[in-house]
Each structure stands twice: as structure tokens, then as C-alpha cells.
């Protein structure tokens, strides 16, 4: 089946098998390997991308379901060679160890930032309910998201 | 994990969707809505539909409409939409339930209709559907029909939806004065599903006694059910905490709790009593709060005990 969609603001057209998952389409066809496959059972959130502005788990979506939609992956957050304030804050706050879960967590945080410019700790933790980090625990992740929200709010 | 190969169809109307279903061999085509249950099942090859009929883009199947008699929710309305809809301000039970379904990413895709039609025995919405006395609106080869919540679920993953039929809307009676509803559950942490989930709706009379209660239970029996005996015994009761506790503790005979590795039957029964009590207590608080100027505070002491009138 032929699909056409926008990925990170670029138009993409492709012929895909209906059973191709969105995450495989992104990683294997478009070579956007920043989106990770963790559990592959829609638990861990490592595969989170934005579909028409909503954070979704791309391992639980067919590529054909994204036909006509706008997909944003971790690669689309900031221009090549630069960091989005969220990514910079994750680095500064040591909000990752192995980094496997990080793209998904950053995408969820980016969605939260779009809805709420000053989320409290409870809102941040609630937004992360669909993401698992098996290295560090969540405290530094929460701190990083808070810091990034503050910076974006203040325009620095 | 990759699903088995299937044919993917995206009909442009409900009629076309029904035709797609009827043209395939019975039981081989599945409706795809949000896909949050179906796609994981297909990846594990627990489900292998030969055809997927994707209805998620059909117009008019998502959204919330309030009228004098009904609250109408399109089958494709997502959990996230139900969690933040201003139209549901007088129905806090929807935000309360939507907020515990799975996780935020899944709530962006998963739908109310999909959850009901999938009929997972531990899904949350069936309890609310039952307690609020909803009706499922089905569209099929014979036209439209309406099925009351109590007749909707027929087994584990089984409903009354027939061959070629599609769930299009869930309709609830409009909220009445002096009424409130709530959902309380025990969550199975690993799956996020309900080990036990109870939704309760209470309508009070002018004196603040229970005029009518309806209670929906999920996660306990193979099929979600109404706790009819408890509803009957609640009639005329002043819903103080102690009274609710006693009534819930005397048992819910409709419960035939499942025993599985997550919980033994007697544990489920105990949790059922506790969550019935919590759901009823919150429903009562909301019913009471929904009556400005009723002055309904006298019958309950600060400890929540009923005031005995001489």
C-alpha cells in the first residue's frame, strides 16, 4: 500500500506492507534510528514519537495508520548539530545512563511542554507513566524536564 | 514482533465498512479503531485477522454531544479526549476513569468504543458503562439497534455485536439532579489493568437518602456485571460511611471471582467490597455536592456516622 506522510516536516512517500509497524518504517526504511524498540509490547515507551501532535507508541501503530499524518521523531526536535532545551537539560542533569529510554522520554516531555509550560513534579511524573527507565530512576529525569520547562518559559 | 500478513481496508463510510465485513468470511475480518489492544494481540499472533477494516478516520464517530435526555459519546472518542472534555464537567467519573486507563501514550490512541467492543474482562470502561446504564448503538446490515449495557457483554472478549455490525456510539441518560458517580479500582501494576474495578452511581431523594443506585463491576467475574442485590439493599439508605461499609461487607452474591496467578478468588472478593465502598462513598459525595442549597449535612456526623433521629 502506498502511504504519504510528513516525517520531521519532510514529505515522505513509500510503498509498505500493511503489517509494517511505524517504528520499523522509521528505523529501517527512513533510517531514523533515534526511535528505539525496547519492550516491543507497548509498555516501555522507548518508541514514543508524535503523531499529529500527540505522543504515541510507534511499536503499536501500523505505518499505514500514519498515512497522511505528521510524525515527529527525536531527530526532528532540533536542527542537526544542536540540542533542544530538553536534550540539553537531560545532559546537564545527568538524566540518563545508558540512554536507551531517553528518546521516548524526551518526546513525552516535549508533548507535556506543549500543553503545560509550568508542570509541577506530579504532572511530570504522571506524564511519564508510560515510560520505563531501568538505569537511574526518575529523579534526574524529572529535574531535567523541570529545568527545560523553566528555560523555555523564560525564553533562554 | 511482526503481525501475520493481512489485508488492510480503509472504507469511506459506515455502509462501506459493513459491506467490507460482510464480504469476508465470518470471523476473519476485524475492525481497527485505536488498535491499542488489537495490534499488541496481532504482534503476539494471539489474533490473526485476515482483514483489518480501519474505521478511525470515519467522520462522526468521535466526539461528545449533550442533549436534554442523553449524553452521547462517539465510539472513536479517545480516552485522552474523555479525560479533558469540558462537556463532561458534570460527569467527573469519565475523567476519573480515563485517567487510569493504561498510560498517556495509549490514551491518545485508544478509544471508548474499542475498549468496550474488545471486552477485556479487566478493562475499566465496562464498569462505568454498566453503572451509568449506557446503551451501545450498533450499525449493521439490518440498520441500527441499541443494546443496553447489561446485555452487551456475553463472555471473555465476547459481546453481542453481530456479524457485520459496528459499535458507533455509547449513549447514557443525562445526569439527574442529586446524582453522582465514581470509579474506584485496584490496579494490577504490571499490566495497568484492573484487578477489581467498581463504578457506582447514586441518586438521592430530597431527604438525602439513596433513591437509586447502580453499580458496575469489572475484573472480578469473567463478564462485567451489575451488583443488583447491593443496589436493591442500598435503596432508602442514608449513605453514611458505616452504612455503606456494612452493606458492601455483607457480600455481593453476583460475584463469582476469578482465581488466577494475580489474585485468589477470596482476595478479589475482599478487594471488591473495599472498592465498592470507596466508589459508593465518592459517588455519594458528588451527589451531595451537586445539590447547592440542599442543606444536606445534618444526617451525617463528622465521623461519617448516621445521625439517629429520635
pLDDT in tens, A15-25: 999 999 999 99
Strand partners, A56: A49
Answer whether A129 sits within 8 Å of B103, measured CB to CB: yes
ipTM of the complex: 0.96
CATH numeric code, B179-306: 3.30.390.50
B306 pLDDT exceeds 70?
no
B305 pLDDT exceeds 80?
no
Instruction: In whole angstroms, give the CA distance from residue B83 to residue A123.
Output: 14
8 A C-beta contact, residue B66 and residue B87: yes
Where in chain B is CATH 3.30.43.10? Answer: 7-54
8 A C-beta contact, residue A144 and residue A102: no
User: Considering the domain B64-172, what is its CATH architecture?
Assistant: 2-Layer Sandwich (3.30)
Domain ranges of chain A: 2-75, 85-154
A94 pLDDT exceeds 60?
yes
CATH class of A85-154: mainly alpha
Look at B192 and A76; give whichever has higher pLDDT.
A76
By DSSP bridging, strand A2-7 and strand A70-72 are parallel
B199 pLDDT exceeds 60?
yes
Answer whether A54 sits within 8 Å of B108, measured CB to CB: yes
**pLDDT of res. B137:** 98
Q: Which residue of A has its CA nearest to B102?
A: A130
What residues in chain A have their Cβ under 8 A from chain B's Cβ atoms?
A: 1, 17-19, 21, 24, 40-42, 45, 48, 51, 54-57, 60-62, 64-65, 108, 111, 126-127, 129-131
DSSP alpha helix (H) spans, A13-138: 22-24, 85-92, 102-115, 121-127
8 A C-beta contact, residue B39 and residue A62: yes
**pLDDT of res. B246:** 92
Residues of chain A in contact with residue B56, where contact means CB-CB under 8 angstroms, are: 65
Q: Which residue of A has its CA nearest to B48?
A: A19
**pLDDT of res. B92:** 96
Q: Give residue-wise pLDDT tens across range A47-75.
A: 999 999 999 999 999 999 999 999 999 99
**pLDDT of res. B308:** 44
Helices (H) and strands (E) in chain B, counts: 11, 14
Answer whether A55 sits within 8 Å of B40, measured CB to CB: no
Where in chain B is CATH 3.30.465.10? Answer: 64-172
Residue with cell 524526551: A106
CATH topology of domain A2-75: Ubiquitin-like (UB roll) (3.10.20)
3-state SS string for B172-223: EECCCCCEEEEEEEEECCCCCCEEEEEEEEEEECCCCCEEEEEEEEECCCCC
Instruction: In whole angstroms, give the CA distance from residue A47 to residue B141.
Output: 39
The whole model's pTM is what? Answer: 0.93
B292 pLDDT exceeds 80?
no
Helices B265-289 + B241-249 axis angle, to 10: 150
Residues of chain B in contact with residue A18, where contact means CB-CB under 8 angstroms, are: 5-8, 52
Hey, what's the cell of A52? Answer: 499529529
Q: Which residue of B has its CA nearest to A58?
A: B105
pLDDT band at B189 (very low <50, low <70, confident <90, very high): confident
Residue with cell 475484573: B219
**pLDDT of res. B190:** 82
The radius of gyration of chain B's CA atoms, rounded to the nearest angstrom, is 20
Q: Give residue-wise pLDDT tens across range B74-122.
A: 999 999 999 999 999 999 999 999 999 999 999 999 999 999 999 999 9
Phi, psi of A131 (to 5 degrees): -130, 140
Residue of B117, B5, B148 whose CA lies nearest to B55: B117
Where in chain B is CATH 3.30.390.50? Answer: 179-306
B7-54: CATH, from 3.40.50.2300, 3.60.20.10, 3.30.43.10, 3.10.620.30:
3.30.43.10
Amino acid at each position: 500500500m502506498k502511504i504519504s506522510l510528513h516525517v520531521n516536516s519532510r514529505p515522505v512517500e513509500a510503498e509498505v506492507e500493511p503489517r509494517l509497524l511505524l517504528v520499523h518504517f522509521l528505523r529501517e526504511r527512513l533510517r531514523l534510528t533515534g526511535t528505539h524498540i525496547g519492550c516491543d509490547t507497548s509498555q516501555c515507551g522507548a518508541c514514543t514519537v508524535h503523531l499529529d501532535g500527540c505522543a504515541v507508541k510507534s511499536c503499536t501503530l501500523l505505518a499505514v495508520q500514519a498515512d497522511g499524518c505528521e510524525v515527529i521523531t527525536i531527530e526532528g526536535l532540533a536542527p542537526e548539530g544542536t540540542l533542544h532545551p530538553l536534550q540539553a537539560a537531560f545532559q546537564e542533569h545527568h538524566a540518563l545512563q545508558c540512554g536507551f529510554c531517553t528518546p521516548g522520554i524526551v518526546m513525552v516531555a516535549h508533548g507535556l511542554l506543549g500543553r503545560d509550560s509550568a508542570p509541577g513534579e506530579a504532572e511530570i511524573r504522571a506524564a511519564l507513566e508510560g515510560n520505563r527507565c531501568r538505569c537511574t530512576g526518575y529523579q534526574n529525569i524529572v529535574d531535567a524536564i523541570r529545568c527545560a520547562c523553566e528555560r523555555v518559559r523564560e525564553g533562554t | 514482533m511482526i503481525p501475520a500478513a493481512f489485508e488492510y481496508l480503509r472504507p469511506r463510510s459506515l455502509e462501506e465498512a459493513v459491506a467490507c465485513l460482510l464480504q469476508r468470511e465470518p470471523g476473519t475480518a476485524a475492525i481497527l479503531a485505536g488498535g491499542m489492544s488489537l495490534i499488541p494481540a496481532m504482534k503476539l499472533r494471539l489474533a490473526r485477522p485476515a482483514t483489518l477494516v480501519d474505521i478511525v478516520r470515519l467522520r462522526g464517530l468521535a466526539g461528545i454531544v449533550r442533549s436534554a435526555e442523553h449524553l452521547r459519546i462517539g465510539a472513536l472518542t479517545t480516552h485522552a479526549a474523555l479525560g479533558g472534555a469540558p462537556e463532561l464537567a458534570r460527569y467527573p467519573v469519565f475523567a476519573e476513569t480515563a485517567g487510569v486507563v493504561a498510560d498517556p501514550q495509549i490514551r491518545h490512541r485508544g478509544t471508548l468504543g474499542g475498549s468496550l467492543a474488545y471486552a477485556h474482562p479487566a478493562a475499566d470502561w465496562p464498569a462505568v458503562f454498566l453503572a451509568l446504564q449506557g446503551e451501545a448503538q450498533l450499525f449493521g446490515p439490518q440498520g441500527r439497534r441499541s443494546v443496553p449495557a447489561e446485555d452487551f457483554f456475553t463472555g471473555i472478549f465476547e459481546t453481542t455485536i453481530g456479524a457485520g455490525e459496528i459499535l458507533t456510539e455509547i449513549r447514557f441518560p443525562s445526569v439527574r439532579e442529586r446524582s453522582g458517580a465514581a470509579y474506584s479500582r485496584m490496579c494490577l501494576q504490571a499490566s495497568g489493568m484492573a484487578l477489581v474495578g467498581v463504578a457506582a452511581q447514586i441518586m438521592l431523594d430530597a431527604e438525602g437518602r439513596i433513591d437509586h443506585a447502580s453499580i458496575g463491576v469489572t475484573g472480578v467475574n469473567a463478564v462485567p456485571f451489575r451488583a443488583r442485590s447491593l443496589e436493591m439493599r442500598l435503596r432508602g439508605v442514608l449513605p453514611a460511611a458505616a452504612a455503606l461499609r456494612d452493606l458492601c461487607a455483607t457480600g455481593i452474591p453476583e460475584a463469582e471471582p476469578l482465581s488466577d496467578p494475580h489474585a485468589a478468588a477470596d482476595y478479589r472478593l475482599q478487594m471488591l467490597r473495599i472498592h465498592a465502598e470507596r466508589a459508593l462513598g465518592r459517588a455519594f459525595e458528588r451527589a451531595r455536592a451537586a445539590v447547592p442549597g440542599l442543606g444536606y449535612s445534618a444526617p451525617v456526623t463528622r465521623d461519617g456516622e448516621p445521625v439517629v433521629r429520635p
